[in-house]
């Protein structure tokens, strides 16, 4: 069965600190997609990144970077020099290979204090 685990329920950092959000997944599919979404207090879920199972290259987008390691079934997300606007709930998700449904982790609440 597919599963996504975000072990960190809440993280609190001070502005300008770097922070890493962990995501571990389980799947028997050979082809799958992994995602990160951000949910600010406004409520909408904002797509951040999609990674397919054949592409283990790390990715950097501004202050955001992602580390995908199939050997450890992890897809971790790092925010460099965090800002107050980064405060949100972050969800890691796995796409079911058969149905395309998104399987979400429980989410990590990040609080960045000024």
Partner 1 sequence: DTEVTQTPKHLVMGMTNKKSLKCEQHMGHRAMYWYKQKAKKPPELMFVYSYEKLSINESVPSRFSPECPNSSLLNLHLHALQPEDSALYLCASSRPGTGLGELFFGEGSRLTVL
Computed from CA positions of residues 64, 59, 51, 2, in that sequence, does the dihedral angle turn out positive or negative?
Answer: negative
For the bound state, the minimum distance from the C-beta of residue 18 to partner 1, rounded and expressed in Å, comes to 25
For the bound state, the minimum distance from the C-beta of residue 81 to partner 1, rounded and expressed in Å, comes to 26
Q: Where along the sequence are the contacts to partner 1 (CB under 8 A)?
A: 31-33, 35, 37, 42-47, 50, 52, 91, 93, 95, 97-102, 104-107, 109
> What is the distance between the alpha carbons of residues 76 and 23, in angstroms, rounded to a whole number?
5
Please give the span between the terminal C-alpha atoms of the chain, in angstroms, as a whole number.
41
For the bound state, the minimum distance from the C-beta of residue 42 to partner 1, rounded and expressed in Å, comes to 6
């Amino acid at each position: 069965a597919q599963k996504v685990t975000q072990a960190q329920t809440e993280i609190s950092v001070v502005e300008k600190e770097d922070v890493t959000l962990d995501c571990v997944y389980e799947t028997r599919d050979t082809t799958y997609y992994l995602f990160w979404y951000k949910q600010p207090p406004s409520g909408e879920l904002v797509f951040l990144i999609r990674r397919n199972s054949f592409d283990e290259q790390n990715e950097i987008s501004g202050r955001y970077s992602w580390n995908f390691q199939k050997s450890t079934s992890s897809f971790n997300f790092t925010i460099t020099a965090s800002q107050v606007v980064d405060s949100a709930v972050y969800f890691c998700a796995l796409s079911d290979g058969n149905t395309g449904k998104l399987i979400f982790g429980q989410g990590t609440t990040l609080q960045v204090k000024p």
